[in-house]
């Protein structure tokens, strides 16, 4: 098994790269999706969040009110640390379960937005960083996600710098290119990942 950490700045197009890797056979473990699953209605994770922050972080139908919770924790480092202490262990446990269920020669891609910021590079055999220019990222965030330019710039500024991401990268994928070119690059990267995931066949000893 080859454990791959996939990361990139907001708007760089990491999701597109992960989709192309899955098309080629990768097992995807998406940290953001798991983080939502572990605090879904009826889960122990949601109960723990409510114990810590009160029922005001719930919507009328009992789901987690993410904007409300976000407004509480992102303005208070102590509250953010409390939330992380609840959610991160649950995400880690579920990620390990999914990884252990993968085939022995699988390429397991962990999609981790804050891999650089949280110092997680050592957990993976290979770290892939998806990059795009500031101009391209801004355009995607405004056009595709509906952010204001001010909000988009603030989100980008809160993340690791391009240099910090490149420092931990084993492979960099430039996503400032047309889709067909990106597909070719991902195909080349996939071939390399498969090669690394499969141990070399033992050479047969010469017969006497």
CATH architecture of structural domain 1-26+106-199: 3-Layer(aba) Sandwich (3.40)
Tens of pLDDT, residues 3-26: 999 999 999 999 999 999 999 999
The helix, strand and coil proportions of the chain, stated in percent and rounded to the nearest 5, come to 55, 15, 35
Q: pLDDT-derived band of residue 203, with 50, 70 and 90 as boundaries?
A: low
Tens of pLDDT, residues 44-100: 999 999 999 999 999 999 999 988 898 888 778 899 889 989 998 999 899 999 999
Q: pLDDT-derived band of residue 201, with 50, 70 and 90 as boundaries?
A: low
131/164 Cα distance (integer angstroms): 12
Given this model, what pLDDT does residue 208 score? 44
Task: Say what the pTM is.
Answer: 0.83
208/196 Cα distance (integer angstroms): 33
27/15 Cα distance (integer angstroms): 14
Q: Where are the domains of the chain?
A: 1-26+106-199, 35-93
Q: What is the helix (H) or strand (E) element at residue 174, kind and residue range?
A: strand 171-174
């Amino acid at each position: 098994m080859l454990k791959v950490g996939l990361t990139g700045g907001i708007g760089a197009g990491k999701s597109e790269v992960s989709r192309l890797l899955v098309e080629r056979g990768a097992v995807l473990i998406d940290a953001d999706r798991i983080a939502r699953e572990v605090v879904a209605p009826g889960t122990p994770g949601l109960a723990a969040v409510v114990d810590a922050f009160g029922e005001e972080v719930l919507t009328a139908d009992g789901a987690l009110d993410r904007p409300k919770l976000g407004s509480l924790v992102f303005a208070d480092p102590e509250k953010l640390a409390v939330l992380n202490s609840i959610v991160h262990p649950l995400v880690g446990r579920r990620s390990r379960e999914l990884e252990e269920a993968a085939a022995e020669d699988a390429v397991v891609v962990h999609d981790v937005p804050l891999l650089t910021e949280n110092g997680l590079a050592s957990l993976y055999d290979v770290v892939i960083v998806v990059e795009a220019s500031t101009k391209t990222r801004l355009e995607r965030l405004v056009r595709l996600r509906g952010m204001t330019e001010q909000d988009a710039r603030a989100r980008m500024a809160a993340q690791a710098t391009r240099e910090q991401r490149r420092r931990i990268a084993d492979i960099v994928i430039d996503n400032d290119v047309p889709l067909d070119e990106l597909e070719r690059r991902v195909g080349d990267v996939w071939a390399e990942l498969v090669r690394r995931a499969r141990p070399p066949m033992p050479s047969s000893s010469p017969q006497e």
